[in-house]
Amino acid sequence: MKWILVITGLVLVIWAVGLLPVAGQSNKEPDRKLIALSGKLLLQVKMDEPVDSIHKALEAIKTDCLISGLADDDARKTFWINIYNAYFQILATKEKKTRPAIFEEKLITIGGVKLSLDQIEHGILRRYRAKLSLGYLPQFFPGKIIKQLAVSKIDYRIHFALNCGATSCPPIAFYDYDKIDKQLGIAASSFLKTDTQINPQKKTVMVSRILQWFKADFGGNQGIKIILEKYLGEDFSEYSLKFKEYDWTQKMKNFDS
């Protein structure tokens, strides 16, 4: 009886969370100037140029303009991937922030909203999924603004685009609204081809720990194998998955071009 009550309670909570406002795909054209700011910030970071003016421009955006300007998922992914990668570099190098504070503290202000890197990744780009649940559980109370800013559908390829300054992270690229789908495909293909180790004799395939941490985003073990087949061109249905140790050694400004 106790377990039935617990499960019922969880279902009710998830249902209640679903009542909060959510972002959708809008017919409105995204604000390209707003999206371009994210790329300009990342470029300034790469070139070691001042970022104060872009900081101020991002802070000055009205919240409703931020929400409406990122009118579809391509806009949201482009903007927030560039923002995440830029601000991690800024916080780690200029602010000297380290784990876990660099991820958890609300150190970024955009459109009048204070955000953490975790909120950008797990709240917005992963559509308010819990950080430590392998992707299977939602954040029960992400907050109204996160719901409004979040993508309408999780794209597993974002995991091959976000860089947190570690050696095992994917390299940093500049994402463009008009090319984001193609660019994420290239990022996924490049990362998996570089980072995956296949042992045909033992029927094992060793992949990045990222795919374990966010397993549900990739569709579970079967989904991972399907993705590997898509990008590596081999059938892994009879293979066992193994996950590599993550190398957290710092590797800053790892730009791919």
Q: Can you tell me the distance from the alpha carbon of 87 to that of 219, in angstroms, rounded to the nearest whole number?
A: 29
* Torsion sign across C-alpha atoms 95, 104, 152, 226: positive
* Per-residue pLDDT, 3: 47
89 and 44 in contact (C-beta within 8 Å)? Answer: no
> Mind listing the pLDDT tens digit for each residue in 147-194?
999 999 999 999 999 999 999 999 999 999 999 999 999 999 999 999
The number of residues making up the chain comes to: 257
pLDDT averaged over the chain? 93
The residue among 54, 41, 128 whose CA lies nearest residue 87 is 41
Q: Can you tell me the distance from the alpha carbon of 232 to that of 222, in angstroms, rounded to the nearest whole number?
A: 15
| DSSP per-residue string spanning 164-215 | -SBTTSPPB----TTTHHHHHHHHHHHHHHHH-EEETTTTEEEE-THHHHTG
- Tokens encoding 32: 């390209």
| Confidence band for 1, pLDDT divided at 50, 70 and 90 | very low
> Mind listing the pLDDT tens digit for each residue in 2-61?
444 444 444 444 434 444 445 556 678 999 999 999 999 999 999 999 999 999 999 999
